Amino acid sequence: MTLAWRNVWRNKLRSGIMIAAMIFGLLGALLMVGFVQAMTENMVDNAIRYQTAHLQIHNHKFLLNEELSAWIPEAENLAASIRQQSGVEAVTARQVVDGMLASAASSRGVRINGIRPQDEIRVTDLQQSLVAGKMLTETGRNPILVSRRNADKLNLRLGSKVVLTFTNIDGDVTGAAFRIVGLFKTPASAFDDSNIFVRRSDLARFSGLDQAHEIAIRIADDQQLTELQEKITTLVEEQGVVQNWGEVQPVLAAMTGSMDIANAIVAGVFIAALGFGIINIMMMSVFERTREFGVLMAIGMTHARVLLLIIMESVLLGAVGGLLGLAAGRLMLAITDQFGLPFGAVAEGLGAYGVDAVLYPSVKGSFYLLMFGMVLFTSLVAALYPARQILKKRPSEALAERH
């Protein structure tokens, strides 16, 4: 061990350059993995907080075609039963219909969500997303919440009147004037573009239907998601279909599922580059000492001990670079976890994916151990080729070499 350690530092410049490369490589890999993980977790968290909640229930016909007639039978009784389940934090039953939002300037298609405000604020963070005005209340005539994006596009502001047009339960086109009492802004620009919120009682009055099309459920512990989904499915029976957030947004679920693959690819690219670097360093280090190894073998050092010496040099080099690189990465991630990583002008584009303007990259402790183990393994493998080239030579051949 002592001899191997001394050999690592015989050429301080060369070893230092390799260790520096490993530090920066590991730092970049950890930041990339931390960024991907933070972005994915942020997208999931925002989807649950603002859009889907943890679980949703729909009539199976509503999933095929969002028609007003595809309501959930006995939705209020079902919601009351779900509230009694251990682990359920809050439940809200919504009436949903597609329609048009029109101002004097323009119009656009939207999803009209008829909500009970007190239930909704317990399930989603709609109230926290308000950037102007106030949350819907049970007082006032036909209040409505629209997104800041829609307000800008339709030239609206607080107090403006808008007209909602949609098809009622009888199949007739109906419409009504609403007054804007609040503007909201969530991290997901696509959600903001396509959703508005009114009181369920108002929507029922104009649609001619006092029924719910969607039940959203918030749970206390994410780890109980599968268990509660199974329990609630038993309660629902034929009344509807219970879906978790991943089934409601399968693209987001697929991205989450592929996160480990993405991390493995990043780690694999780094390890491959590291392997070539260590092979290059070890070949130079070993071949310039060919005569030295010839002397060692001539005085009786076995091939096994020569092999072990070369492998130990390579592993020690990898261990030093790996530990320093992981320490630098941990320090950098601690800083970004404290202060965040702002995206500035790029934030608007990330909003299309439901990502916040500031992320807090972090990496699981198990990934540090995995990376360190891969560095040591790569260092060991990288030593085998130069060691084999030396061990193929007889002592007399090695002593005759000139480098």
How many CA atoms, within 13 angstroms, populate the side-chain half-sphere of residue 61?
Answer: 10
Whether 161 and 283 map to the same domain: the answer is no
Among residues 239, 266, 294, the one where a domain terminates is 239
Looking at the structure, tell me whether residues 11 and 156 fall in a common domain: no
Residues 188 and 78 in one domain: yes
Structure tokens at 48: 């649950």
- 64 & 37 share domain: no
Distance CA 49, CA 131 (A): 16
Neighbouring C-beta atoms of residue 344, cutoff 10 Å:
8
Q: What's the pLDDT score for residue 399?
A: 63
Q: What would the pLDDT profile of 322-380 be if each residue is shown by its tens digit?
A: 899 999 999 998 888 888 878 766 666 666 667 777 888 888 888 888 888 888 888 88
pLDDT tens per residue across span 106-162: 999 999 999 999 999 999 999 999 999 999 998 889 999 999 999 999 999 999 999
Q: Domain range holding 335?
A: 2-47+256-400
Do 289 and 392 lie in one domain? The reply is yes
Residues 268 and 147 in one domain: no
- The yes-or-no verdict on residue 400 having pLDDT over 90 is no
Tens-place pLDDT, residues 70-90: 999 999 999 999 999 999 999
Position 107 in a domain: yes
Do residue 147 and residue 29 come from a single domain?
no
**Tokens representing residue 349 in the block:** 């584009």
Q: 158-181 in b/e burial notation, b at 16+ Cβ within 10 A?
A: eebebebebeebeeeeeebebebb
What is the pLDDT, as a whole number, of residue 323?
A: 93
pLDDT in the model for residue 157: 93
Q: Are residues 82 and 224 in the same domain?
A: yes
Residue at 246 is within a domain: no
Q: Per the domain annotation, does 376 fall within a domain? A: yes
Q: What are the distances in angstroms from CA 249 to CA 61, 205, 353? A: 18, 31, 12
| Shared-domain flag, residues 219 and 329 | no
Q: Does residue 396 have a pLDDT over 90?
A: no
pTM: 0.78
Q: What is the pLDDT of residue 295?
A: 78
Task: State how many domains the chain has.
Answer: 2
- pLDDT, tens digit, for every residue of 236-245? 887 789 999 9
pLDDT for position 50 = 92
Q: Are residues 102 and 224 in the same domain?
A: yes
| Cα–Cα distances in angstroms (integers) from residue 345 to residues 185, 351, 357, 376, in the given order | 17, 11, 9, 40
- Same domain for 64 and 28, yes or no, is no
- Quick check: 94 and 115 in contact, CB under 8 A? yes
